[in-house]
Structures are given as structure tokens and as C-alpha cells.
Amino acid sequence: MPLLAASQNATRVVEPGGQNMHVETISFQTGTGWSAPFPSMDSDQTLVLVFGAPSFVDATGPLQALTAAFPTSKIAGCSSAGEIDDRTIRDESLSVAVIKFDKTKVKLARALVETGGSSYGPGENIARALAAPDLRAVLVFSDGIAVNGSELLRGIHSALAPTVVVTGGLAGDGSRFQHTWVLVDGKPQERMVVGVGLYGSSVGVSHGSRGGWDIFGPERTVTRSASNVLFELDGEPALQLYKTYLGDRAEGLPATALLFPLALRAHAGDAKTLVRTILSIDEGAQSMTFAGDLPEGSLVQLMRANFDRLIEGAGEAGRAANSDQKGETVTVAISCVGRRLVLGERTEEEVEAAHEALPAGSKLVGFYSYGEISPHATGECGSLHNQTMTLTSIWES
């Protein structure tokens, strides 16, 4: 996708003074620089969210400048498969939201995912570091390759009250699936997970997550799996069966698998469906590794794109996240890289559909991810989703 003109959605700085939170959005593009000067909003109650191209792991100058401009603020974010800035999607850019709260406390926690280690422990460590009676919500940004998102969330929920809203996403690397980063102390690092805690009765959080894929083919039983690695469906090698459905597209695995995710149900009587997408394949073991777990005994079915339903799904997510707030609201949009690859030139339509469903004047930032974290609907526990548009709206009253 070609680079577009610099963002023009940075708003006038408003001096604090009992006006609840204030939000500014700015962007950086390689070749054109920052869209506006940094707003004078640094404080210990300021949260700076940053979503950027994978290449900024090496070209760190813009991130260093941002960190220097907000020395006491909490800075969090990750790499992406496309940056969302208002109604626009870009590559090779940074999409930034600066949120200065009036009453809300902000705290960061981080954890390293050890090579070959479980993702449960890092999730539990982050949750224990953030847990408090007045914790309202946690935003999670995680390495998108080394982490099992399902395990990570089980660890997080093990140490949090069920009333805490957990949303966020797994970092992206375009369609390459090689390296992702998460910001730690303003520096991009691999194998990290960061949690952002929002505290107090003044902060409001609403959320929405929708898909829009069509299900086809027979429903099959997971007969052999290990966590997020799938070996057999109905007693047959899973990878070979999957290749049969993909036909000529099988040569492009794992990237082409984004076009055909799996619908997952715990059992035949379960009305709740999760979507799972492939991260990698192992030809020797004839296995596929997914962003989240596929437990043995669960049921899976292939899915394919319905363009209009994908775009409508984004609008439904926006309506679910719409809090009808009259004051300033910032919304974090996290959509799956698979949706972007499928929608192609129509991708901005899903961002526009989500934006139009939000309150007038709501600031929108976000990224395309390798996994989305959100409660199913009004449920309190965050779950790992794939191939969805997930929105989290934040405001202060």
C-alpha cells in the first residue's frame, strides 16, 4: 500500500484544569516526518500509545524522540501489520495517541517470555504487578510470534478480579511472521509482554469484537493437539488435510492460511465460537501452530471471507464499543492481518465502518495484529480472537 500524506488530525492543546482526560493523536511517516509538534502533555498520568512498522526496531530515531518528549509518561505499544490513524491505514509509520488523564492512575508492568517457556507465567506476573482493588482495565500488548495468547490470558486472569476488563493484541510483522516488537522503556524489544493498568472509578472502558467470516465444509474434531499446536483432525494429519482444502494456495503457507482461518467450538452444544489463524507450519510433524489453543476434543470448521460481512462486522464492533460519551474518547482499533490481506484495497472500508459507529469526535488509533484480545460481548474475561476487528473505547467522567 503506498504511503499517504501526513496525518492532519492532531488537535489543539488544551491546558488541564478539571476537564477530565484530553487526547491528542499524531503520526510519523518515513520520508515526511511527524504530522505535528509533540503536545505539551507529559505527566505521570499520561499514557502514550504507539503502534508502528516492524522496521522501527532498527530505525529507532522517532521512538527515541517520542520518549524524550514524554519522560514521565507511561509509553506502551507494539509493531504492526499496518498502522491505523483515524480513518487511514498506513505502512512504515507510527500511529500515536497521547492521553492525559485528570483522575485516572496509569501503571505499566512487563514480562519476558523465555525461549521455549510457557506464556502462562508472564501473564500471571503482569497481572500480579497490576492487581489492586481499584483496577478497572488492562490493555495488553504482546510479542506476536513467541507467545501463546491463550496461555497468556489464562495467566492474566488467574490473578485479576473477574470485573477487570482485559483487551489488547499481539504484535504484527506484516505477512512475514518473523519478528515482532513491544515497547519497553520506549525501546522496541522481542519476546516481551506489557500490560497497562487503568485505575479508579472515573475511567470508563467499553469494547466490541466482531468477525464476519463464512463457515464452510464439515465440522471436524481435534483428535491430537498440544496447546496451540494442531497435529490431527478426525485422526488424520492436520496439515495435509488443510492443504487439500487450500489447493494451489498451499504453496504460500503459512501466509495463505490467513485467508482460511478455523472456527473453534469447545463442544457441539457450545454457541460461542472463537476464530483461530495459523502462525507457522511444520512439514516434518505435519502440524500447524496457531495464535491460540485448540484443545483436544474441540470442534473446528474452515472459514472463508465474505467481504461485505467483514466490513459490516467492523461496524458492529464499533456499535458495541460506542459508549455515547459526550466528552473526549479515544478508541484503540486492533484488527487481524488476515482481514487486511483478504480485503486488500477495501481494507479502509472496515476502519471507516468502525469509525462511523463511534461517538462523534472520537479519536481512533490502532494496528493490524496477529491476535486480538477482548471479552466476547458483555462478558468480563478477555479471550484471544483471530481474524476479528476489536475496539476498546476509553474515556473519563
313 and 169 in a single domain? The answer is yes
Instruction: Choose the final residue of a domain: 275, 304, 333.
Output: 304
Neighbouring-strand partners of residue 334 = 367, 390
Q: What is the mean pLDDT of the chain?
A: 90
Does the residue 82 lie in any domain? yes
Instruction: Please say which residue of 304, 322, 337 terminates a domain.
Output: 304
Any domain includes 392: yes
Residue 347: burial class (beta carbons within 10 Å; 0-12, 13-18, 19+)? buried
Task: Calculate mean pLDDT across residues 244-271.
Answer: 88
**Are 205 and 227 members of one domain?**
no
Strand partners, 97: 25, 49
pLDDT of residue 115: 78
Identify whether residues 80 and 185 lie together within a single domain.
yes
Q: Return the half-sphere exposure (C-beta side, CA atoms, 13 A cut-off) of residue 351.
A: 28
Domain membership of residue 11 (yes or no) is no
- Residue 86 phi, psi dihedral angles, 5° rounding: 60, -115
- Look up the domain containing 289 and give its range: 214-304
Residues 84, 337 contacting (CB under 8 angstroms): no
pLDDT tens column, 339-366: 998 899 999 999 999 999 998 889 999 9
pLDDT value at residue 19: 64
Residue 10 has pLDDT above 50, yes or no: no
Domain count, the chain: 2
In a domain? residue 67: yes
Residues 27 and 128 in one domain: yes
Evaluate whether residue 384 is within a structural domain. Answer: yes
Hey, what's the cell of 169?
A: 493484541
pLDDT of residue 18: 46
- Whether omega before 254 lies within 30 degrees of 0, making that bond cis, reads yes
- Specify the pTM: 0.86
Burial class (CB in 10 A: 0-12, 13-18, 19+), 184: middle
Share of the chain above pLDDT 90, in %: 75
Q: Is residue 2 part of a domain?
A: no
Structural domain contains residue 6: no
pLDDT in tens, 372-389: 999 965 444 668 888 899
For residues 173 and 75, membership in a common domain is answered with yes
Question: Band of the pLDDT at 260, cuts 50, 70, 90?
Answer: confident
Does some domain include residue 361? yes
- 183 shares a domain with 102: yes
pLDDT band at 194 (very low <50, low <70, confident <90, very high): very high
Backbone angles phi, psi at 194, to 5 degrees: -125, 135
